[in-house]
Amino acid sequence: MEAIFYIAAIVAVLATVLTVTRLNPVHALLYLTVSLLAVAVVFYTLGAPFMAALEVVIYAGAIMVLFVFVVMLLNLGRHTVEIERSWLSPGAFVGPAILAAILVGEVSYLLARSGTLTPPVAEVSPHQVALSLYGPYLLGVELASFLLLGALVGAYHVGSRRAQGRTTVGSRSDRTGLASGGDLVRTGADRPSGAA
Amino acid sequence: MNPVLLKIIVLLGILIVVLTLASGLIWLERRLLALWQDRYGPNRVGPFGLLQVLADMIKIFFKEDWIPPFADKPVFVLAPAIIVITVLLTFAVIPFTPLVQIADTNIALLFFLGMSSLGVYSVVLGGWASNNKYSLLGGMRAASQMLSYEVFMGLSMMGTVMLAGSFSLRSIVEAQRHMWFVVPQFLGFVLFLIAGIAETRRLPFDLPEAESELVAGFHSEYSGMKFGMFFVGEYLGVILISVLLSVLYFGGWQGPFLPPIVWIVLKTLFFICFFILLRAAMPRPRFDQLMSWGWKWMLPLSLLNLAVTGAVVLAMRR
């Protein structure tokens, strides 16, 4: 189990590094997915199978698919790769590298001080997760559902206004050839003709 | 016998049977479709045309495996493998009989949900990596369709989880000793069936590959064995959903007189035939109809099912 933990942890770190350094957005997202899957394995080896399953179902399976979907929708092409290349100058890594080095130092100090490297393994069943979610942490669950309801209402509001706007202002945006959505779409507009 | 050796034998057995069945389904589907459309279907190669599959396999292995020069090569190659791997992995948690099961975990159902949501990547990435507008449209349809239908697929199964009190598929089967869950969970069964068809992208939910409008959708650019992988993945998905339907709602291996393995195979074959009948009988809806059907009907219904089941279970416990 310990070996699996370390292998998964190394995979997670490598995949995350590759996520940052990939120039093609879809490749970066794929590495991020791999990283999430590796984290799921880490959760499993630490005795939290329920968390591991949720990590796969929600993060890798739903949220990342949405990310890939949006990236596909924006049709980010060669142009974006060039922009990414200009952003990923070695200088940009200095700040994050220093901060990450501090964290690595802290983690290795903690691990060295505690002596043993084996994580405590006591399997937490879905039943126990449910009992603590709806027992001592009920307030947190309620707050999260508040937040989600707010997001839902907000999404509905944005969606309905967009539909209304299309009937009244749509002709204008058609004439100027500007897609709604501002910056997000502009970065992907590397089509040969130039719409405007 | 050595338990490790036994496990390996079970594992290989399941792998071989499932893969053979998946390719055999090509023959079964063509024959059954032909039957319902009043023609013969493949009946020349071997007895009843059974060797047609073998001939097709030989042909597909010798086809040129072409990767378009404009495609994103690594992702293009990866995509068809994802669907086969995720579906095959899910078979690991299925209890076929009390003896034939690879892993009995207490998160089996969540494992299935996770693997099926990872399977979406296959179609989406295949569509994207082909760098072809029809494929991209197919991939985007697949992403939105499967994301929407996955939401209530999970919710529709929770009724059985509540009744059995566990995510473990083995406990779910054992909880159906006195009554199959299709009786108290009929709505859940119908919802899961519809979500399962959408998940396997079979007609009437095969809009990602609608050949009348998108050429072949996400796999337009695929040829040879890579196309074969998508195909096998689809049939494996059909088998998986059929087995799950019988495990979750029809008592799994339980049944009178016959041994457990016969019961599970019979139940699974019944649902496979139902999948094929659907393909023969149903037209393809429009994409916006599909989406609004999912969000406006299926999701509220599965929430209702969840709430009512929860209330009843709570009242019974009192």
Q: What is the ipTM of this complex?
A: 0.80
Question: Chain A residues contacting B, CB < 8 Å?
Answer: 24, 26-27, 30, 33, 49-50, 52-54, 56-57, 60-62, 65-66, 68-69, 72-73, 125-126
Please indicate whether, in this complex, the C-beta atoms of A126 and B167 are within 8 angstroms of each other. yes
For the four alpha carbons of A17, A18, A19 and A25, in that order, the dihedral sign comes to: positive
Cβ neighbours of A53 in B, within 8 Å = 107, 110-111, 113-114
**Predicted confidence (pLDDT) at residue A104 exceeds the cutoff of 60:** yes
Tokens 């060295």 sit at which residue? A112
Give the count of beta carbons closer than 10 Å to the beta carbon of residue B51.
Answer: 15
CA distance A188 to A105: 40
Confidence tier at A4 by pLDDT (50, 70, 90): confident
The token duo for B59 is 């042909």
Cβ neighbours of A54 in B, within 8 Å = 110
Backbone angles phi, psi at B50, to 5 degrees: -60, -30
Please indicate whether, in this complex, the C-beta atoms of B125 and A27 are within 8 angstroms of each other. no
The token duo for A147 is 């937040």
Question: Cα distance from A73 to chain B (closest Cα, Å)?
Answer: 8
What pLDDT is stored for residue A172 in this prediction? 45
CB B203 within 8 A of CB B274: no
Domain ranges of chain A: 2-125, 134-196
Backbone angles phi, psi at A96, to 5 degrees: -55, -35
What pLDDT is stored for residue A149 in this prediction? 94
Please indicate whether, in this complex, the C-beta atoms of B75 and A126 are within 8 angstroms of each other. no
What pLDDT is stored for residue A76 in this prediction? 66
For the four alpha carbons of A108, A112, A116 and A121, in that order, the dihedral sign comes to: negative
Averaged pLDDT for residues A184-192: 44
A49-74 confidence digits (pLDDT tens): 888 888 888 888 888 888 888 887 77
What pLDDT is stored for residue A175 in this prediction? 44
Please indicate whether, in this complex, the C-beta atoms of A65 and B114 are within 8 angstroms of each other. no
Fold of domain A2-125: Four Helix Bundle (Hemerythrin (Met), subunit A) (1.20.120)
Cβ neighbours of B118 in A, within 8 Å = 56, 60-61
Please indicate whether, in this complex, the C-beta atoms of A69 and B144 are within 8 angstroms of each other. yes
Please indicate whether, in this complex, the C-beta atoms of A24 and B72 are within 8 angstroms of each other. yes
CB B136 within 8 A of CB B285: no
Cβ neighbours of B124 in A, within 8 Å = 65, 68-69, 72
Backbone angles phi, psi at B259, to 5 degrees: -65, 155
CA distance A68 to B143: 9
Tokens 């490790």 sit at which residue? B4
What pLDDT is stored for residue A144 in this prediction? 93
- Confirm whether pTM is higher than 0.90: no
**Predicted confidence (pLDDT) at residue A191 exceeds the cutoff of 80:** no
For the four alpha carbons of B110, B113, B117 and B119, in that order, the dihedral sign comes to: positive
CB A184 within 8 A of CB A74: yes
CA distance A130 to A116: 31
Question: Cα distance from B199 to chain A (closest Cα, Å)?
Answer: 13
Domain ranges of chain B: 66-317
B135-174 confidence digits (pLDDT tens): 888 888 888 888 888 888 888 888 888 888 888 888 888 8
B/e letters for B146-166, b = 16+ CB within 10 Å, e = fewer, are: bbbbbbbbbbbbbbbbbbbeb
CB A37 within 8 A of CB A56: yes
Cβ neighbours of B147 in A, within 8 Å = 62, 65-66, 69
Beta-carbon contacts of B90 under 8 Å, excluding residues fewer than 6 positions away, are B111, B112, B115, B116, B240
B167-218 confidence digits (pLDDT tens): 888 888 888 888 888 888 888 899 999 888 888 888 777 777 777 777 777 7
**Predicted confidence (pLDDT) at residue A169 exceeds the cutoff of 50:** no
Residue from B75, B122, B67, B94 nearest B232 by CA = B122
The token duo for B243 is 């087995």
Cβ neighbours of A62 in B, within 8 Å = 117, 147, 150
B56-107 confidence digits (pLDDT tens): 888 888 888 878 887 788 888 888 888 888 898 888 888 888 877 887 878 8
CB B63 within 8 A of CB B223: yes
Cβ neighbours of A65 in B, within 8 Å = 117, 120-121, 124, 143, 146-147
CB B95 within 8 A of CB B247: yes
Give the count of beta carbons closer than 10 Å to the beta carbon of residue A76.
Answer: 21
What pLDDT is stored for residue B89 in this prediction? 87
Give the count of beta carbons closer than 10 Å to the beta carbon of residue A83.
Answer: 14
Tokens 């809009």 sit at which residue? B207
Question: Cα distance from A69 to chain B (closest Cα, Å)?
Answer: 7
What pLDDT is stored for residue A108 in this prediction? 80
CA distance B293 to A148: 23
**Number of DSSP helices (H) and strands (E) in chain A, helices first:** 9, 0
Cβ neighbours of A35 in B, within 8 Å = none
CA distance A95 to B236: 48
CB B184 within 8 A of CB B163: yes
B3-18 confidence digits (pLDDT tens): 888 888 888 888 898 8
Give the count of beta carbons closer than 10 Å to the beta carbon of residue B63.
Answer: 13
Beta-carbon contacts of B120 under 8 Å, excluding residues fewer than 6 positions away, are A61, A65, B142, B143, B146, B147, B150
CB B308 within 8 A of CB B157: no
Top mean-pLDDT range of A89-93, A144-148, B56-60: A144-148
Which of B111, B115, B139 is nearest residue A72 as measured by Cβ atoms?
A: B139
- Quote the percentage of chain A above a pLDDT of 90: 9
